[in-house]
Amino acid sequence: MKEPKGWPAPELATGAVLAAAFLATAAANWPGHLSFDSLEQLLEGRTGIYNTWHPPVMAWLLGLFDAAVPGAGLFVVFDTALAYGALFVLLRIGRARWWSVAAAVAVALLPQMILYQGIVWKDVLFADAAVAAFACLALVAHRWRGRGQIAALLLFALLTLAGLARQNGVVLLPFAAAALAWIARGHGASWRQALLWSGGSMAVVAVLVAAFTLALDRRSNGDSGPAEQLHVLALYDLAGAVAHDRGFAMAALHDDDPVLETAIRTRAAKLYSPLRNDPIMLDRQVQAALANADTEALMGAWRDLIVHRPALYLQVRAADFFQVFATPDIIAARPVFTGVEGPADTLRQLGMAPRQDARDRMLKRYGFALFGTPAWSHPAFAVLALICLVMLLRRRRPADLAMAAMLLGEFAFVASFFVISISSDYRYLYFLDLSALTALFYLSLDRREAT
């Protein structure tokens, strides 16, 4: 069936809402909100020397945009364009109805869009790249030939960007691959062809992620961020284990690094909180012990905890995960950030000043006003995502499979924090909120026949 010429009124209205929201969001947040991490990454992008504690792709992109227009303004516009670009792609796949207008307005007004799109955080870049990637996958399903080939190239690029922005973002690849196989099968490919399509495509993405990682690491300062983060996670889990069970034995540390064992028992365990690891890592005694630690002994004690005391390990991990997922203390989860705030020396090197202007205060008040509502509730968005997933799997149109894969990947991404969480900041699960809102908008659209 050929699409009718012109856009029906609901589609025009929905498109107008999305366009106006994109412009308003970019304008309200220009030139971006930068915290300590954001400023450090902007400086790294400007100097070209990256600290791998943070994803180098953030610093690289910030450097590219900063070279064109100093600051983070263009990066924020790019981030926002990814999120709203995904919604525009879905709008062209489906056919808007009048309640699609309401859905677009609701999505645009939530702080996940009007505020978070202006914050220079890797969590926002990852989420935006991921939803845009699955929107492209939906377009591949809708237009298998023609535009679908262009969408496939964008899919590879965006999945690569998502994998570079967050290391645990690679959990999305199997879900994208499975959806691509089902989509190819639905378009007449044999199972062998479908599996070659999906496996080959995801292999390309994996190779691209590895290649870009190696290339960016060549411009690093020489530190091994991922290794250091793993050591911090191990110490945090051991501190939690001792806090829960004072009699927990750390044989590997007792024998090979008694100084670190003492620091964990006398300082880290007392400072332990499932909210975040900052009090532990800021303690001077812990810092000194970790700086001279026998990392093999540290990792050995951590493995012993996991293998020989799994119940205790799971108890510690469950407490940490509950904080990052449920965020029972929303203020402690620090969901709202506006303006520019960071070390004076970093600001001086960037030629910037601290900022908290009228727009920043207005956005902050708006975010604070929604505390205690579902707008700041990961569990509420998880329920919304689950409802959308059930609807998509029951309907099973080709593009539905792409959106279902996005939600399944999002649940896997959230689950990964059961293992890696060391802090309860709200932004870590921002992808959960954004993917649920994207799926809701998609479901507000009626079917459009492919041409």
In this model, does residue 210 exceed pLDDT 70? yes
Instruction: Confirm whether 413 is domain-assigned.
Output: no
In this model, does residue 198 exceed pLDDT 90? no
Percent of the chain with pLDDT over 70: 95
Instruction: Confirm whether 182 is domain-assigned.
Output: yes
User: Number of folded domains in the chain?
Assistant: 1
Higher per-residue pLDDT: 408 or 48:
408
User: Residue 353: its pLDDT value, please?
Assistant: 95
Average pLDDT taken over every residue of the chain? 91
In this model, does residue 397 exceed pLDDT 80? yes
User: Residue 451: its pLDDT value, please?
Assistant: 42
User: Residue 223: its pLDDT value, please?
Assistant: 65
Distances (CA, A) of 364 to 33, 112, 356, 367: 11, 13, 10, 5
pTM passes above 0.95: no
Q: Are 424 and 323 contacting, i.e. CB atoms less than 8 angstroms apart?
A: yes
- Read off the pLDDT of residues 102-143 as tens digits, 9 standing for 90 and up: 999 999 999 999 999 999 999 999 999 999 999 999 998 887
Cα separation, 36 vs 435, whole angstroms: 27
Question: What average pLDDT does range 192-214 have in this prediction?
Answer: 86
User: Residue 447: its pLDDT value, please?
Assistant: 63
> Half-sphere exposure (CA, 13 Å, Cβ side) for 118?
27
In this model, does residue 229 exceed pLDDT 90? no
Instruction: Confirm whether 416 is domain-assigned.
Output: no
In this model, does residue 199 exceed pLDDT 50? yes
User: Residue 85: its pLDDT value, please?
Assistant: 96
Domain extent, residue 367, equals: 9-218+345-375
Instruction: Confirm whether 400 is domain-assigned.
Output: no
Question: What average pLDDT does range 322-333 have in this prediction?
Answer: 95
Q: Are 212 and 164 contacting, i.e. CB atoms less than 8 angstroms apart?
A: yes
Q: 56-74 burial string, b = 16+ CB within 10 Å, else e?
A: bbbbbbbbebbeeeebbbb
* Secondary-structure percent of the chain, ordered helix, strand, coil, rounded to 5: 75, 0, 25
In this model, does residue 149 exceed pLDDT 70? no
Cα separation, 117 vs 106, whole angstroms: 15
Band the pLDDT of 396: cuts 50, 70, 90: confident
Instruction: Confirm whether 435 is domain-assigned.
Output: no
- Read off the pLDDT of residues 348-363 as tens digits, 9 standing for 90 and up: 999 999 999 999 999 9
User: Residue 448: its pLDDT value, please?
Assistant: 57
Question: What average pLDDT does range 225-244 have in this prediction?
Answer: 91
Instruction: Confirm whether 48 is domain-assigned.
Output: yes
Instruction: Confirm whether 36 is domain-assigned.
Output: yes
In this model, does residue 145 exceed pLDDT 80? no
Question: What average pLDDT does range 301-327 have in this prediction?
Answer: 96
Tokens of 408: 């399944």
Band the pLDDT of 1: cuts 50, 70, 90: very low
Instruction: Give the H/E segment covering residue 297.
Output: helix 295-308
Closest by Cα among 306, 292, 240 to 271: 240
Band the pLDDT of 2: cuts 50, 70, 90: very low
User: Residue 375: its pLDDT value, please?
Assistant: 96
Band the pLDDT of 96: cuts 50, 70, 90: confident
Question: What average pLDDT does range 380-403 have in this prediction?
Answer: 94
Q: Are 325 and 379 contacting, i.e. CB atoms less than 8 angstroms apart?
A: yes
User: Residue 189: its pLDDT value, please?
Assistant: 78
